[in-house]
């Protein structure tokens, strides 16, 4: 014959087993919902547009004013290797790298590439700078639009200078925040040709 304590212990054990089974079912259900949510989230993330690709699509649609006057349609640069340099006349590292960019532009143009300077600046300071330091590659005035592009192309801080190498196929193959050198850019161009 069972004592009252034994009966209570047996009932608690049986009740505990039922609670454990219910807890396990609840946890398994929660895990299944979590896995489903993660799967949907992964699919949504995987199918969301690449911000860099979206930024490049916007870049090709731009028609920007130039210091010389007529606007520059950037779609004219699509389909060939392009080095885009975001700069400003007030930015000392930008000013320092301009002769390096110009030398690189002359070499790279012979290999089918193009350099494009997008000034995050006003027209007058850019014109003044270019009269003192002329360059052989096109310069356009990008203003606030250029700053948004800088961020969308991977420079969340928005610092200058910022340089992006785009392949003929329209893919970003290099980016750098800070001044570049001719030697560094020649290395980027060589790596792009080898791929």
For the chain, the structural domain boundaries read 1-48, 51-194
Strands (E), 88-138: 114-119
Name which of 63, 69, 59, 62 is nearest 123 in CA terms: 69
CATH number of the 51-194 domain: 3.40.30.10
- Residue 39: what pLDDT? 38
Looking from the CA of 101 toward its CB, the CA atoms found within 13 Å total 32
Assign 51 a pLDDT band (cuts: 50, 70, 90).
confident
| pLDDT value at residue 69 | 84
| 3-class DSSP state of 11 | helix
Q: Model-level pTM? A: 0.75
Tokens 């300071």 sit on residue: 125
Percentage of the chain with pLDDT > 70? 75
pLDDT (0 to 100) of residue 33: 37
Q: What is the mean pLDDT of residues 90-115?
A: 97
């Amino acid at each position: 014959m069972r004592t009252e304590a034994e009966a209570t212990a047996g009932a608690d054990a049986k009740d505990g087993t039922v609670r454990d089974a219910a807890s396990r079912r609840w946890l398994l259900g929660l895990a299944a919902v979590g896995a489903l949510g993660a799967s949907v989230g992964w699919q949504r993330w995987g199918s969301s547009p690449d911000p860099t690709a979206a930024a490049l699509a916007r870049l090709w649609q731009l028609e920007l004013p130039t210091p010389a006057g007529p606007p520059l349609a950037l779609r004219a640069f699509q389909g060939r290797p392009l080095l885009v340099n975001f700069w400003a006349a007030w930015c000392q590292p930008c000013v320092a790298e301009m002769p390096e960019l110009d030398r690189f532009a002359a070499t790279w143009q012979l290999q089918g590439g193009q350099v494009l300077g997008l000034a995050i600046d006003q027209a007058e300071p850019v014109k003044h700078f270019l009269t003192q330091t002329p360059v052989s590659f096109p310069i356009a005035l990008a203003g606030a639009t250029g700053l948004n592009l800088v961020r969308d192309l991977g420079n969340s801080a928005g610092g200058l200078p910022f340089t992006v190498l785009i392949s003929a196929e329209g893919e970003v193959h290099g980016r750098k925040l800070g001044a570049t050198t001719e030697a560094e850019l020649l290395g980027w161009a060589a790596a792009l040709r080898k791929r």
